[in-house]
Amino acid sequence: VPPVLRQGFWVYRSSKLPGSHQACCSIKELDVFSRAREVKVDPDKPLEGVRLAALQARKTLLVPTPRLRTGLFNKILPPSGATKEMLRRCATSQGIKEYSVPVGLDGKARVDLVVVGSVAVSEKGWRIGKGEGYADMEYAMMVSMGAVQEDTPVVTIVHDCQVIDIAEELLDDHDLTVDYILTPTRTIKTNCKRPKPQGIIWQKVSSEMLGKIPILKSLRYREKQAGKDVTLRDEHLDLANANTPEKAMAENTRPQAAVGSAQTGQHHVESDALSPRLEGSGVITTVYVGNIPPSVRASELKSALREFHAAPLRLNWQGAQRRAFLDYRDKATAESAVSSLKGFSLGGNTLRVELAKNQRNKGQVEINSQR
């Protein structure tokens, strides 16, 4: 099987080499696996045997969503009385789709063992992934949500030829190290002393990555509310560029938005004071926001909308019905807001955000806002 080039190393993919199943099975011999009740295993094909071992041992199995597009974890729930063949199917990528439920930021996950894939790893515990950083990000997110502790062990499954010397200089603060390496012939305890990531290093996160990982937006919002510095990598550059006299003058001359509100019984309609009425005829686009927790106030949703750059022209708050309607000037702006808020969690609930089924014309909205 020909090797592939990853981060300057010619290495083999363990899914293409003999012995990967044998290496996976050896995890059952580890005390850290025997003691674990909740195990997080990457969705990679080479780790299918580990997922099966966890299910057979009746452990809670959490599998990250591919590229974190739809959340952080899927919790695998095999059918009652599942046979070994059914458990084997549950351990596959297709089975994960069929027999799982999502676990959000407030799902109270308590992971006892983390199992990740690797492209290369050293006996000291230094690890190289595929170069996209998802395993590192997943671990940092688990730290931020309290799902792992400082002493939670990390295991990787590789072929013997993937265990190589790696210079520590190649590692960064956000890189995940491993405590155990399992190969078809060896079990290596690394005794790695290098600290694992202590949480998300926002200065290393780009706006592009934030846009690709919806749950990362929720974590950022939550940490900002807690008073943490969540300035992104490209925002640091923007701040540096903003310290010029020309930029300061432009900011000082920019009009500032204010928000006016009208209270009507249980409903609460808010509008942008810069656009007190929508000129002309036509149809604005409304976004429905549902599954809002009873404890959440309109001001919290407003703050989140500003944070996600999704502030609407109007917000129709219907807290008693646990919903709100957001009015946008056009469909493109509304669709952008839906995309930005996808997977966002507020007050412990993942909000349901979608284009409203019934759109109203601008005249109606203007009348509704004045009732």
Q: Which among 78, 77, 71, 79 has a CA at the least distance from the CA of 102?
A: 71
pLDDT tens track for 36-66: 999 999 988 889 999 999 999 999 999 988 7
Other Cβ atoms within 10 Å of 77 Cβ, number = 13
Q: What is the mean pLDDT of residues 58-82?
A: 85
pLDDT at 200: 87
What does pTM read for this prediction? 0.66
Give me the residue spans of the domains in the chain: 4-199, 203-239, 259-368
Query: For helices 214-225 and 331-341, what crossing angle results, to 10°?
Result: 70
Query: Residue 86: helix, strand or coil by DSSP?
Result: helix
Instruction: Find where tokens 């012995």 sit.
Output: 19
Q: For residues 350 and 292, what is the distance between their CA atoms, to the nearest angstrom?
A: 8
336 pLDDT more than 60: yes
CATH for the 4-199 domain, from 1.10.579.10, 3.30.420.40, 3.40.50.10420, 3.40.50.10540 = 3.40.50.10420
pLDDT at 169: 81
Q: What is the mean pLDDT of residues 17-21?
A: 67
Q: For residues 27 and 184, what is the distance between their CA atoms, to the nearest angstrom?
A: 11
Q: What is the mean pLDDT of residues 77-92?
A: 94
pLDDT at 359: 53
230 pLDDT more than 70: yes
pLDDT band at 238 (very low <50, low <70, confident <90, very high): low
Q: What is the mean pLDDT of residues 314-323?
A: 90
pLDDT at 256: 35
More confidently predicted of 2 and 17: 17
pLDDT tens track for 341-370: 877 878 778 888 999 886 544 433 332 333
* Mean of the per-residue pLDDT values of the chain: 78
Q: For residues 125 and 196, what is the distance between their CA atoms, to the nearest angstrom?
A: 11
The CATH superfamily of 259-368 is RRM (RNA recognition motif) domain (3.30.70.330)
pLDDT tens track for 277-289: 444 445 789 999 9
Cβ–Cβ under 8 Å, residues 282 and 361: yes
For the range 234-240, what are the long-range contacts, defined as Cβ-Cβ under 8 Å and sequence gap of 24 or more?
234/206, 234/207, 235/207, 236/203
pLDDT band at 257 (very low <50, low <70, confident <90, very high): very low
Q: How many CA atoms lie within 13 A of 273 on its CB side?
A: 8
pLDDT at 264: 38
pLDDT at 347: 77
Interior CA angle at 290 toward 268 and 309, to 5°?
A: 75
